Structure 1
Amino acid sequence: MTIDRKQTFTPLEIEERLKADLPHWRYEDGWIRRTYRTNSWKGTLMVINTVGHLAEAAWHHPDLTASYAWVEVRLMSHDAKGITVRDFALAQKIEEVVQWQPGAGTDAPLEGTPAGDLRFAYIKYD
């Protein structure tokens, strides 16, 4: 079965899908949106660069707004004039990568940034 990449979802379908799969995202003014909180400009730039890499690799580009300690990601398929499966797929990948915490609660070989030292903090995890 072929996926119609330009088929748009209704507002109710969008809300249901966000609730089920992307609970930190919201639907507002025709976009699905997520605000990532950071600890500093360094963290903000790291989130922007991560989103930029994923968007370019996917060839589906979000709108971004940023300030010192936050980044808002907005997705909508301009060519379809609405929210499509592409928006959900990219949102899921962004969420997976930005929220990744190596070694969280495990004995994994990658331990992640030092939790108690603000010099190394860059993103405020949900």
Structure 2
Amino acid sequence: MNKLSEQDIEKQLLQFPEWEYYEDALHAEFEFENFKDCFSAMSRIAFECEALNHHPEWTNVYNILTITLTTHSENGVTAKDFKLAKAIEEIVEPEED
């Protein structure tokens, strides 16, 4: 998996308005109703991380989840990071039916 150029990253970010790119990584912060909802989302995200064999750097304080995605072996952002960001988005902000 090759590191993406900044131009490619900025183009991809148009699909991910919750995410920002800086310090060779994608960053997002999500707020939930309470700790239980936040932790539940983290648990569901963990299963996606295992399935993709790609793991975020993340922190949780009460109802706030902060996530950083980068591919350490490539020292930057790759398609793998965007694939995980998409999975995270689907968990955190499911589409309304």
Computed over aligned residues only, the root mean square deviation of the Cα atoms, in angstroms, reads 1.3
Extract structure 1 runs of 4+ deviating beyond 4 A: none
Q: Which structure has greater helix proportion? A: 2
Counterpart mapping for 1:6-17 below 5 A: 6-17=1-12
Number of aligned pairs?
Answer: 97
Identity %: 27
Deviation at 1:92, TM superposition (A): 0.7
TM-score by structure 1 length?
0.71
2:47 matches 1:53: yes
Q: Which structure has greater strand proportion? A: 2
Q: Deviations over 1:44-93 (max 9, x none)?
A: 21121121111011111111111011101111001111100101111111
Alignment partner of 1:35 out of 22, 29, 37: 29
Flag structure 2 segments of 5+ consecutive residues without an equivalent: none
TM-score by structure 2 length?
0.90
Distance in 2 of aligned mates of 1:73 and 1:47: 12
Flag structure 1 segments of 5+ consecutive residues without an equivalent: 1-5, 107-126
